Amino acid sequence: MKIMTSLISRLSSAIIIKLFFLTIFFLPTLGCAKGDKGFAENANRPIQAKDKRRKNINEGRGVSIGGFAKGMRGGTTYEFSSSNPMWRASLETLDFLPLATVDYSGGIIITDWYSDNNASNQEAIKITLRFLSNEVRSESLKVIIHKKNCTIDQACKINLLSKSKIKDELFSTILTKAALIEKDSKKKNKK
């Protein structure tokens, strides 16, 4: 029994040592096979943070003030919601309503169900605004209005109001306000 245990421990030690040397020998090759640049190329990488930043900027991977400003003038623009006249006009127009969803990056504003104090609690409307473009044009905004009618036993029916006075007035109010906001911002930029 002792002989078997001793033999197993010697074999396992020999196997571990062989695996260790094989791993060290084949490790650089295995790294390259997986797309790693290997030890030789990694040795040329800068160690200091200052050197890393300089190398990244030289290779075009860094961020610089000039590059950021260049990107602003190029194809990609980063606009804040306060600089978008359609967005600002919509929020100003709907400021009396409780808002359920406001997502500038998704281009959507959804109000919560709203009923007038004078009306019975059996009727409510929900307004959805979808922004299709940042330009102040009639094609840039889609207004969707849903009307909910509930009976006394709380059975509710929801309808889409495709043609309504509320929709038309809301649409024209937002476009008018957006045009005025855009006109004012252009005047300020000229000064």
Would you kindly state where each structural domain of the chain is located, as residue ranges? 2-73, 81-190
Query: Where does the pLDDT of residue 118 fall: very low under 50, low under 70, confident under 90, or very high at 90 and above?
Result: low
- d(Cα 173, Cα 151) in Å, to the nearest integer? 32
- Determine the 3-state secondary structure of 21 from DSSP: helix
187: left (phi over 0), alpha (psi -120 to 50) or beta: alpha
Residue 7: predicted pLDDT:
47
Name the most confidently modeled range: 11-15, 56-60, 139-143.
139-143
pLDDT above 50 for 101: yes
Report yes or no: 132 and 142 within 8 Å, Cβ to Cβ: yes
Average pLDDT over all residues of the chain: 76
According to the 3-state scheme, what is the secondary structure of 31-88? HHHCCCCHHHHHCCCCCCHHHHHHHHHHCCCCCCHHHHHHHHHCCCCCCCHHHCHHHH
**What is the pTM for the complete model shown?**
0.55
Which among 102, 162, 172 is positioned nearest to 131, based on CA atoms?
102
Contacts of 99 (CB under 8 A, 6+ apart): 109, 110, 111, 112
| Neighbour-count burial of 10, counting CB atoms closer than 10 A to its CB (0-12 exposed, 13-18 middle, 19+ buried) | exposed
Count of CA atoms in the C-beta half-sphere (13 A) of 24: 5
Q: Which two tokens stand for residue 169?
A: 């007035």
- d(Cα 71, Cα 3) in Å, to the nearest integer? 75
Report yes or no: 142 and 121 within 8 Å, Cβ to Cβ: no
Mean pLDDT for the stretch of residues 40-65: 63
Does domain 81-190 correspond to CATH entry 1.10.3470? no
